[in-house]
Amino acid sequence: MDKLFTIGHSNHETGRFIELLAMHRITVLCDVRSSPYSRHNPQFNRELLQGALKAGGIAYVFLGNELGPRSDDPACYVDGKVRYARLAATENFRRGLERLRAGMKTYRVAIMCAEKDPIGCHRMILVCRALRKEPVEIEHILEDGSLEPLRRSEQRMLLELKLPQLRLFEDPEGLIQRAYDTQGERIAYVRDGEEEQESPGAQREDTWQR
């Protein structure tokens, strides 16, 4: 069975972040931020992160265009808010999943976004949701380095959303799907009318090679 890890960079120091990846023998980090830059944690700006990962023997692949939480497609928005179900149905998103699946066949892959807790991040609510029924074991690398299986994260999500009760004729899987929908609505990106700016070189094609 293929295996996928996820991690949030949070406010880690670069060295600690590399340690967390090395602890779980990650060989490729896939950045799924739509904009691979951080105003508050500039150590995770794309070019700096790439350099640190390379020094640690870890490859960097940018998949934010395919698997990020934002979209340039107006059809993915309703009243200015992105709808994950629409985004997940795009050909671009499907291409990103295919790249991820192909990478998992050869490498130990972790997808990365900013949020510390996976249940508050699109890496789980959008990307992992799209893969959860496939033969892929998904585990989140938490802030202390421990691993949390996706199923355990889903149970935490139910408790946070206070959705432990089934509706009439609803099975447990239906409850989980309702939780994903609810959380997706809570965390989805809302356009503010300002264009995101990327630094030069942000559109370079990355490979799976270190």
- Gap between the Cα atoms of 202 and 14, Å rounded: 20
- Full-model pTM: 0.90
DSSP label at residue 15:
H
CATH T-level topology, domain 2-187: Protein-Tyrosine Phosphatase; Chain A (3.90.190)
Q: Could you give the angle at the alpha carbon of 114 between the alpha carbons of 109 and 118, nearest 5°?
A: 70
Question: pLDDT 10s digit of each residue in the chain, 210 long?
Answer: 999 999 999 999 999 999 999 999 999 999 999 999 999 999 999 999 999 999 999 999 999 999 999 999 999 999 999 999 999 999 999 999 999 999 999 999 999 999 999 999 999 999 999 999 999 999 999 999 999 999 999 999 999 999 866 666 678 898 999 999 999 999 999 987 544 433 333 344 455 544
Q: Which residue ranges make up each domain of the chain?
A: 2-187
- Gap between the Cα atoms of 136 and 138, Å rounded: 6
Closest CA to 205 of 56, 101, 63, 94: 63
Evaluate whether 157 touches 183 at the Cβ level (below 8 Å).
yes
pLDDT the model gives residue 195: 42
Closest CA to 173 of 126, 131, 133: 133
Secondary element (H or E) of residue 184: helix 172-187
Secondary element (H or E) of residue 8: strand 2-8
Closest CA to 113 of 185, 29, 50, 2: 29
What one-letter code names the amino acid at 102?
A
